[in-house]
Structure 1
């Protein structure tokens, strides 16, 4: 097969913090291509076990093209998989399907991840690389094709937190980012606080005694931080807590399978009196409240569905001028027709 006819994995890095004038920082580029290579290797090892040879799909690139930064990468040879398929396109296809599901149907991502990546160690490795790719301030787009595509699939930065939550659920280790509510503080012999994370689990988080006053000031508040996770058969712990701060806003790209046209920034806090997680956007008349983060998201989804049904089931003349102004603001973020189809599929027509 002639080189120009072979499929390549095209990596697009748009202008931003690490890209200027079609040039990219060397260290940042090395991290990106390493993450992509690790995703491919984790998928291959999970799907084919010992039959997968990493050297067969070691990616190479010859040039960096213009268009921000565009790097086509490909293996030297194109081996067949044990079931006689093109190994390169099969594995990169799984990678792109996972990224697409994360973007368009996030509620199905975990189920698809467990179906496609059956090996727990490879699943953890893949999640680490996807979280790393999503954490960049400059979006990284990926697409496998013969000819250069216009764009690719990318992971919005918002999903870094979600991917980190999955890492924690699957018993990942190393540095993680955690968000949740501090529910207990211990300052006797070992200084740690207990956090109820957004995923519903509780973890003991160990901090430097010099940070005790800061931790006390954040008791019963919604916080975010980084730390090193370890897991034993009995307990998961987070050590070396750093960058601890109160979380006051959260940007969402979706609520369940309702994917927003533009990200929505919400004010967030924990109401200790009523024991509620609170997610609010006053301008869009959107809010969610619950005794857990997931219940607050469910509440927010219910409110979105209420708005969609109100504006799709009743003509504009049935709404007040104030209601129509709200509809206009919401339409910047919500595709009412697409959302109504999801509602009809979910409830059998409303």
Structure 2
């Protein structure tokens, strides 16, 4: 039996000029909508080809897009739209929204976060409102993905990331930019190596991000899996990580305000280094902890040679450094 129910995407707003929409914007909406439908089918254990959608017609004026699923009676693509409707209604209550998502996606944290990222990408934005409906003809009952609720989708995704995802920090050493599953290796501040994997079709933006951060310090968010001594991570997000903040107490002195240290990794000598040029504070070591310990020793020297020294025997530049140090640290040593 052939399913005659069409899935409608109705696009309106200032982003559409004279009935036209930029090809890349339309492609982004359609591709992420299809990928979300695939994810929904995966959560339900349904064959991917049953979730495949076919573009049937694009209307004039506001952009009206009609899609049909594969000629089959399988209701799963329509159920994916019904899920979006329930999710939209529940967004005012984060806990209820989490319950709905978890029940549909069987507590698969990785799949939940990946799916919500796709929903974010086809959700309405300020200049473009996306409306979804189902029907043989243009539907009267529709679900409006209001731009005002987009932040709630993002908040919901972040809530799941707190619950399921893990964060590791380190340096991207090498990468593999071919095949369906791409990977890169990261070395953590304590010298542990972890292989990180991502699918360029599911996360096309990660390709350029990984490339831009090769040999640089990063934070990687994803799902960690341990097999004996080997650790692998399925990656959901990558961002730069270029500093550590010292606060509270450091090298036995109370800090009045935080000290920011820039992080660098020497790929040739496998050495971690930190620095604050303004305070002339440096430290290097085989791990980040060793670099911080070295910085502690240098910090004590700075205190003794500048903060505890009399201005009368110091140069103008030395006094300037002393004053900068005084902004961060109390002279009296703890304990």
TM-score (structure 1 length as normaliser): 0.44
User: Which structure has the bigger radius of gyration?
Assistant: 2
TM-score (structure 2 length as normaliser): 0.46
